Structure 1
Amino acid sequence: MAIGFDYGTANCSVAHLVESSVEQIPLVGENCYISSTLCAPTAETVSEYLFRCLGIRPANEVGEAVLRRAIKMNREEGIEVDTGDVLFGEQALNLYLEDPKDVYYIKSPKSFLGGMGLRDVQLSFFEDLVCAMMSNVKRQAECHLGETVTQTVIGRPVNFLGRGGEASNLQAEGILRRAANRAGFKDVEFQFEPVAAGLEFESTLTEDKNVLVVDIGGGTTDCSYIQMGPSWVGKADRQASLIAHTGQLVGGNDLDIYIAFRRFMHAFGMGTKRHNGLDIPVTQFWNPIAINDVQAQRKFYAHDNLKELTMLTKEALEPEKVVRLAKLHKETLGYAIIREAEKAKIALEESNDYRAMLDLFSEQVGIEVSAADMAVAIDNPTKKIQALVKEAAQQAGTQPDAIFMTGGSARSTVLRAAVQQVLPDIPVVAGNYFGSVTAGLARWADVCYR
């Protein structure tokens, strides 16, 4: 049996085709979406969990070395890995929020894929994270369907990171493929996420059109200019219909990060000075919330950096603020700060004002955020998204008949207006913001494996 698998930055979802209709498959109760999050007692638990609890072996010698090291470290810590030690989705988030300091928590590991300059052992560990999440989704889907799923089409962005070019994309796709194979998928194909969303939109058309698909997901924004309609439906060779593609690592995570950076981090001392008149380094405020940057996270949460933060607190003119930064480090609160920024982003789609509450355990910090504040805060990622839309239209050389916007962040009125500003005379349409990619992947899976 074949399914479409949207291994997303924010959420994962799967679907299959039943008599020409797409059916999404529940993964958590009746919910068809599971947050792309994972929680475990330690990072090493994940690798041993795959081997000991699921019978999934590493794909190569590097993976075997990572597993041996994980087993050794878990034994030294007195950790006996059990099936219930690794949690996913909302369960993982809730456990992290209860006690951030004493658990390993990760959100959106897809954001790390394609990173250049990483060691083989780091890449192998990312593969274990992806494999654990894919295996969980596969098992939940099979439980609902009552049959084994062995074939899948996985969505991928046009560019995972961009900085490493095609080498970056090949590295990321390789991790996804190996993880999927290890999770039990025998046949794995890939499709660009905006193309998949376009295939779903195409199923609603009664005439051929040129459509610019703008997919603003949790981690990336991807644009595909596609010729689509009844003439193309069901064709296995779509190459002639795919006119242009652009993509970059800018999406919902970036919106959350910029909201947190521009609106929240002043409460932690950003913009204040030391007694000698020097500013506190801005990287100390960016790194803890840059959840899609492995190196930034490592630098901030390094043990030596706590000494630096303690020194900065003593030197600060407003130490009561900077001490919160040290608290953020000690309690590993970066993800919790981003979670509150995400809640602000969502709330401000329905209201002009939102009062964010940052829970630092020892105190609650309230920060007012307006819709106008948010628009200013996300100006940088907004301009990047506009540039991608403009580039795709320029590559195509013709104006599209319609712009199809999809992805969770495409709900943003700020971003929709920004896209419309680039192509002011083109109608903007939308479908299922969260499900279009998944549905299109299911349709493509039916074509690939029929």
Structure 2
Amino acid sequence: MSNISCGIDFGTSNSSIAVANRGNIHLVAVEGTSITIPSAMFFLRKGNVAFYGREAVNKFLTRNPGRLMRSLKRVLGTPIMRQGTMVNGELMKFDQIIAAFLQNIKEKADADAGQQIENVVMGRPVHFVDNDPAANDRAQAELRSIATQLGFKNIDFQFEPIAAAFAHEVNISGEKLALVADLGGGTSDFTVIRLSNRYINKHDRSGDILANTGIRVGGNDFDKDLSLAAIMPELGYKSTYGTKNLEVPLRHYYDLSEWSKVNFLYTTKIISQTRQLLYESHDKPRFKRLLQVLEQETGHALLAVTEETKIALTADTSYNTPFDFIEEGLTARVTRKQFDTAISMQLQKISAAALQCLTDAGVDRNDIDLVILTGGTTEVPSVQAEFAALFPNAALADENKLSSVGLGLAYDSQNKFG
């Protein structure tokens, strides 16, 4: 058995792959020179050609005809996984779609290693699906089956926050009690673990891992809450219609706020119902924008500007969100305060899951020496402030937010297969 192995971090928003090649552990460039790739695919209608990552998103945003798919990880373990989806008039199973995405990044790692890699540790959230052990088992089995399709012979799994801990451990002298908070696009996962650079080559780390918790709340949920609070009102969200002053149906706005549901809205029935409501709308200019988005199939562009707004509010306290794809020169000013208010409930759930991890581990907040923040969602200022307040005695480590899980999975793969 070759001792070359790899770790795959298949994320809801971004993915990476790292190779362990005879003691040399490194992330592989997966799109151009970048070591991370957005977990996105675009199927061009003409010839059904697939594009990946930033290129996929750009093809879509420059209005090429076809189908954009994102947040694929969220279908694992759910009934949608088995149903499949229509892509340019053909039924495609999600295991085919996910396998194609992961094959694209595996090829980069194989080229880097100079051979077909047969050993892999796949990252996984603590819970793919909340409060459903059977769905969690199914999701891992689906991912294992996909890894087998890719040609892997030896496949293991590791919780993503534990992998992030392994990536940071290299720099830790002495022993530290750490809480890892891995906040991604789809899930927030926590681990309490004892770390030391003396432990790096220990094959069995189960005695150092004190507890794991996780919830299905992440950056995509922040996007959804921000969209409903600040973006959708520009399309008539919560406006009224008719002689009885009824509120317009809200379901389509909720679906427009989720990457995985947008494509289901472009039906003749939904468009004709929306057109009908426009006649009776009390806010025709805004409600007409909803109809336009449905008719022109620009829901993903709406999600893209929501995400852009969230990222901008990391550095700035306000941002003018552009809606040029709806109306030339149309913008809406969104403030960080609006964003913080919109996500406050989700942030409470994340906090509660972190504290539950401490309870499960039998340790106190003040016992934590180090908090490792990983995953793109930890960039959000209110998230950082929350963890600083929860753990006043701990050092906060937040370097390599988007790549530490992939790197840690490769460290783990070296221990398991090296």
TM-score when normalising by structure 1: 0.85
Q: Determine the C-alpha separation between the residues in 2 that align with 1:9 and 1:354.
A: 25
| 1: CA distance, partners of 2:222 / 2:68 | 21
State the partner residue of 2:55. 91
Equivalent residue for 1:367, pick from 310, 332, 339: 332
4+ long deviations beyond 6 Å: none
Matches within 5 A, 1:413-428: 413-428=381-396
- Determine helix, strand or coil for the equivalent of 1:240: coil
Deviation at 1:380, TM superposition (A): 2.3
Aligned positions of 1:57-72 closer than 5 A? none
Q: Displacement, 1:20?
A: 4.1
| Structure 1 contact 327–360 (Cα < 8 Å) conserved | no
Q: Is 1:269 equivalent to 2:236 in the alignment?
A: yes
Secondary structure of the structure 2 residue equivalent to 1:247 = strand
d(CA) in 2 for partners of 1:26, 1:128: 23
Work out whether 1:387 is the aligned partner of 2:355. Answer: no
Does residue 315 of structure 2 align to residue 350 of structure 1? Answer: yes
Instruction: Report the CA distance shift for 1:331/1:442 in structure 2 as closer, same or farther (over 3 A).
Output: same
Q: How many residues align?
A: 405
- Among 188, 213, 222, which residue is 1:221 paired with? 188
- CA drift at 1:310: 1.2
SS in 2 for 1:211: strand
- 1:224 CA displacement: 0.6
CA drift of 1:202 comes to 1.5
CA distance in 1, matches of 2:16, 2:80: 28
Displacement of 1:172: 1.3
- Is 1:112 the counterpart of 2:75? The answer is yes
Equivalent pair of 1:389/1:419 in contact (CA under 8 Å): no
Alignment partner for residue 245 of structure 1, among 192, 202, 212? 212
In 2, Cα distance between equivalents of 1:143 and 1:359 = 41
Structure 1 spans left out of the alignment, 5+ residues:
43-78
Aligned amino acid, residue 212 of structure 1: L
1:185-204 → structure 2 map (5 Å cutoff) = 185-204=152-171
CA distance in 2 between counterparts of 1:417 and 1:6 reads 27
What corresponds to 1:38 in structure 2? Answer: 41
**Selected match of 1:287 from 255, 264, 289:** 255
User: So what's the TM-score if we normalise by structure 2?
Assistant: 0.91
Query: 1: CA distance between counterparts of 2:230 and 2:47?
Result: 42
Shift of 1:28: 1.9
For 2:325 and 2:73, locate their aligned partners in 1 and report how far apart those are by CA, in whole Å: 28
Is the CA contact (8 Å cut-off) linking 2:184 and 2:375 kept in structure 1?
Answer: yes
Map 1:172-191 onto structure 2 (within 5 A).
172-191=139-158
| Corresponding position: 1:308 with 2:273 | yes
CA contact (8 A) 1:258 1:378 kept: yes
1:99 is paired with a residue whose SS is coil
Q: Counterpart of 2:157 in 1: which secondary structure? A: strand
Shift, 1:195, TM fit: 0.4
Match of residue 117, structure 2, among 127, 149, 159? 149
1:337: Cα distance to partner? 1.4
Shift in CA distance, 404/445, structure 1 to aligned 2, threshold 3 Å: same
**CA displacement, residues 78-109 of structure 1 (integer Å, 9 cap, x when unaligned):** x655xxx1111111111111226x31110120
Q: 1:224 to 1:440 in 2, by over 3 A?
A: same
Amino acid corresponding to residue 386 of structure 1 in structure 2: S
How many angstroms apart in 2 are the aligned matches of 1:378 and 1:365?
25
- One-letter amino acid of the structure 1 residue matched with residue 245 of structure 2: G
Please list every run of 5 or more consecutive structure 2 residues that lacks an aligned counterpart in the other structure: 86-91
